[in-house]
Amino acid sequence: MSESMHILIIGGGIGGLAAAIALQQLGLAVTVFERTPELHEVGAGLSLWPNAVKALDKLGLGEPLRAMGVPNGSAGIRAWDGTPLVQLSASTLEQTFGAPTIVVHRADLQTLLRAALAPDVLRLGWECTGFVQDAEGVTAQFADGQSVRGDLLIGADGIRSAMRTQLFGEQPLRYAGYTAWRGVAHFAHDQLLLGETWGRGTRFGIAPLNQERVYWFATRNAPAGSAAAPDGHKAELLRRFRGRHDPIPAVIAATEATAILHNDIYDLQPLKRWGQGRVTLLGDAAHAMTPNLGQGACQALEDAVALAAGLHAGSSGDAGLRAYEARRINRANAIVRQSWRVGRIAQLEHPLAVGLRNFAFKHMPSNMSMRQFTWLLGHEV
Ligand SMILES: Cc1cc2nc3c(=O)[nH]c(=O)nc-3n(C[C@H](O)[C@H](O)[C@H](O)COP(=O)(O)OP(=O)(O)OC[C@H]3O[C@@H](n4cnc5c(N)ncnc54)[C@H](O)[C@@H]3O)c2cc1C
């Protein structure tokens, strides 16, 4: 790898920003092109599991990240009536997997990543429309007619990646069969249990955040593109979750109606390749997954660290990209598949299937549930 390389990153989400930090640490010149003119304080919470915390440690951000965390006694899954099905203590999770689990507001993580970048790295309001590569370099083309030449290009442009379409053609996204709402409420959370409550074709998840805030999400089985209730998401959710165990209705009630996000859930069928020549993909552009394992952003962080390692070791830029892909693709694809499977179980609707599921979870020894996740959460990229 030559230290005079200039790397173009398309997309300033968590993946693009983290990759820029990792490449900057190698002493490489890097520019991130983000199409939105401003990075808004959007989004809700993000679970950063031990594998992601270890990746952020490698980016030198472990300490400020840990300072954002809220101590959690335990995490688990409950049945619809609030009965615990699986309960794991946060300290056991940390001891088993070698780092804590930290739930952050997405905007706080974005601010942390952005602050670690050199001042001129991030360019806002640059929408990349495509690229041209040749033996000497790669040229990114932008919507306003400008173009920028570099040595390598990283497509970190999210689930509907235009860079991926140029590389491999249109890849259909796969609708998971359920829709999700997310929000953040100001809410005292001394005794809150981090975790999910599973019903029939519906779920509600809660995680305490710093500054007396609570991140929550809700799902329900529905056809893609189902219309919102005429009186809005908040009113619909209050109706759907009326009578559920504490503090579900109160957390919804404490949320600003206009700040509730709603998305149908899609993933990308695992790709066989991520790159070609001087171009590769990273984050959701490469491996968009359903949120059931809370791993999408965690995997983008692992990608960032592995990309820098690949380029550091590679004899040339494109050899470095292929080394990165070889190191990451099987693991990321396995997590896409696993996340899909967990979603199928969590969203079961038939009463008999739900009863069997709950019985199996309730009677699973806790060390067995931990062991199942070692490959996923204990991983150090
Ligand atoms: C309901 C839900 C809950 C989730 N919960 C979790 C969780 O708890 N933990 C977790 O780890 N993950 C979670 N995720 C997944 C996580 O949000 C994503 O995996 C992660 O944000 C992907 O980051 P990214 O940088 O790859 O893509 P994005 O965040 O999508 O960023 C892509 C960026 O590229 C920009 N862009 C796009 N096209 C262009 C272009 N042509 N030119 C320039 N810029 C462009 C976009 O504006 C955007 O800023 C969740 C997702 C959902 C939907």
Does residue 155 have its Cβ closer than 6 Å to ligand 1? no
Instruction: Give residue-wise pLDDT tens across range 126-155.
Output: 999 999 999 999 999 999 999 999 999 999
Mean pLDDT of 193-205: 93
Query: 298 CB less than 6 Å from ligand 1?
Result: yes
Question: How many angstroms is it from 156 CA to the middle of ligand 1?
Answer: 9
pTM of the model: 0.96
364 confidence band (pLDDT: 50, 70, 90): confident
pLDDT at 278: 98
In degrees to the nearest 10, what's the CA dihedral of 167, 170, 266, 355? -100
Best CA proximity match to 197, nearest among 179, 218, 178: 218
Q: Which of 35, 335, 336 to mutate to test the pocket of ligand 1 (most atoms within 8 A of CB)?
A: 35
Residue with the smallest CA separation from ligand 1 atom 19 is 296
CB 212 within 8 A of CB 187: yes
Mutate to test the pocket of ligand 1, among 21, 157, 336 (most ligand atoms within 8 A of CB): 157
Question: Ligand 1, atom 48: nearest CA belongs to which residue?
Answer: 13
For the record, the structure tokens of 199 come out as 């019903």
Delineate the domains of the chain, giving CATH numbers in brackets: 6-173+267-377 (3.50.50.60)
| CA gap 114, 18 in Å, rounded | 9
Distance 337 CA to ligand 1 centre (A): 18
297 lines ligand 1 (CB under 6 A): yes
Ligand 1 atom with the smallest distance to the CA of 180 is 1
- 153 C-alpha vs ligand 1 centroid, how far in Å? 18
What are residue 329's phi and psi, to 5 degrees? -65, -40
Residue 234 CA: distances (Å) to CA of 196, 222, 260: 19, 17, 7
Over residues 321-353, the pLDDT tens digits come to 999 999 999 999 999 999 999 999 999 999 999
